[in-house]
Amino acid sequence: VPHTCDWRKVAGAISFIRNQGNCLCCWAMAAAGNIEALWSINFLKFVNVSVQELLDCGRCGDGCHGGYVWDAFSTVLKNSGVASESDYPFQANFRPHRCHAKTYNKVAWIMDFIFLPDDEQRIAQYLATYGPITVTINAKHLQLYQKGVIKARPTTCDPQFVDHSVLLVGFGSEKSEGMGAKTVSSQSRHPRSTPYWILKNSWGAQWGEEGYFRLHRGSNTCGITKYPVTARVQKPNVKPQFSCPP
Amino acid sequence: GSLTAQDLGPQPLELKEAFKFFQIQFNRSYLTPEEHARRLDIFAHNLVQAQRLQEEDLGTAEFGVTPFSDLTEEEFGQLYGHQRAAGGVPSMSRVVGSEEPEES
């Protein structure tokens, strides 16, 4: 596993920061970002896929009232692909019985999807080798988050209660001082590195670190290891054209 | 935990100014003076909450005014969470094949 990895440094690999508005569709936006990243780093195809299609055509039929990333992948498998964002744009609403999956050309598809082990080291290894993956976390600390690395205890951010899906795009370490960044005593003052994950959110670019945020890596902060899921666009033994830039 | 704008006594100018700046920054307007007052209360509460998060955080995160500073925790959960219903996340561990999935 490399020390650092940031898929945002591959031009075009990570699509624009989406804004879900008042539609509870983080699950579809995370899945869309995953498929887009995999298509760009595997096939050099820079596509923006239709989140609206994932909402309108989902089996559960209530896309703006929440869902799961694997629902979105199931929809892409069922429809043998997904249309482009430009053909089938996001409306921030759910239109029952308005599935237009057959109307538009497919711009991306997937072979299958997998659940990764709940182990941060193995998640990092997979991320660095194969590309961004989706995770589902407890979003409690995100409402008032501005920047920096969130490190929470299980008592303040329950790792069993996860309610928000996002795209994991990289990891790294940040130099800080002391035992904890904010509890520096004169005796414990020494350089220390804080390992972190880089995550892409779907609340617009005005939120967080230009739409991204960072969580501590190695402590299962906010339940990041609970549901690591990714689509696959190649056979398991085929690696992408790019490796993750440090 | 139940601090309101009224509890702050005559509302500090800084709070009103901060709220005004928030409204401009994130393009927020409210239909009635009552709603404006309610959102100001929530905004004040969230400033205190951000300070608490800041103290509790073990990393380098900074908390403060965000586009969601005028929402209660419950509203935020309802608007930006993703769960269809509380609990009930299915336990899944197998690889799902590329064949047409069976309808349940």
Which of A57, A50, A69, A55 has the alpha carbon at shortest distance from A23? A55
**A115 with B93: Cβ contact below 8 A:** yes
Interchain proximity B68–A151, CB inside 8 Å: no
In this predicted structure, the answer to whether residue A61 has a pLDDT above a threshold of 80 is: no
pLDDT in tens, chain B (104 residues): 445 545 444 467 789 999 999 999 999 999 999 999 999 999 999 999 999 999 999 999 999 999 999 999 988 888 876 555 433 344 443 333 334 444 44
Chain B hits for A20, CB-CB cut-off 8 Å, are 80
Q: What is the ipTM of this complex?
A: 0.89
Q: Are A169 and A6 in contact (CB under 8 A)?
A: yes
Distance CA A166, CA A168 (A): 7
* pLDDT at residue A137, as a whole number: 96
State residue A97's pLDDT score. Answer: 65
Q: Are A63 and A25 in contact (CB under 8 A)?
A: yes
pLDDT tens digit sequence for A154-195: 999 999 999 999 999 999 999 876 444 454 444 455 667 899
> Quick check: is A26 catalytic?
yes
Position A25 scores a pLDDT of 93
Q: Is there a contact between A53 and B77 (Cβ–Cβ < 8 Å)?
A: no
- Going by their DSSP bridges, the two strands A145-147 and A191-200 should be labelled as unpaired
Contacts of B36 (CB under 8 A, 6+ apart): B30
CA B1 vs. chain centroid, Å, equals 15
Q: Give the C-alpha distances (Å, rounded to integers) separating A77 from A101, A221, B89.
A: 12, 32, 21
Report the b/e string of A153-173 with b at 16+ CB within 10 A. eeebbebebbbbbbbbbbbbe
Chain A contact for B96 (CB, 8 A cutoff): yes
- Averaged pLDDT, A80-106: 89
Pair type for strands A191-200 and A212-216: antiparallel
For residue B31, the distance in angstroms to the closest alpha carbon of chain A comes to 18
At residue B45, the pLDDT reads: 97
* Chain A contact set for B50 (CB, 8 A): 144
Of A74, A150, A165, the CB nearest to B57: A150
Q: Among A41, A46, A40, A50, which residue's Cα sits nearest to residue A18?
A: A50
Close Cβ partners of B7 (under 8 Å, ≥ 6 residues apart): none
Q: B residues 15-74 near A, CB within 8 Å?
A: 26, 46, 49-50, 53-69, 71, 73
Closest A-chain CA to B92:
A115
Residue A18 has pLDDT above 90, yes or no: yes
Closest-CA residue to A60 (of B60, B16, B84, B51):
B84
Tell me the three-class secondary structure of chain A, residue by residue.
CCCCEEHHHCCCCCCCCCECCCCECHHHHHHHHHHHHHHHHHHCCCCCECHHHHHHCCCCCCCCECCCHHHHHHHHHHCCCECECCCCCCCCCCCCCCCCCCCCCCCECCCEEEECCCCHHHHHHHHHHHCCEEEEECCHHHCCEEECEECCCCCCCCCCCCCEEEEEEEEEEEEEECCCCCCCCCCCCCEEEEEEEEEECCECCCCCECCEEEEECCCCHHHCCCCCEEEECCCCCCCCCCCCCC
Look at A112 and B96 and tell me if their CB atoms are within 8 Å: yes
Catalytic choice (A23, A25, A26, A57):
A26
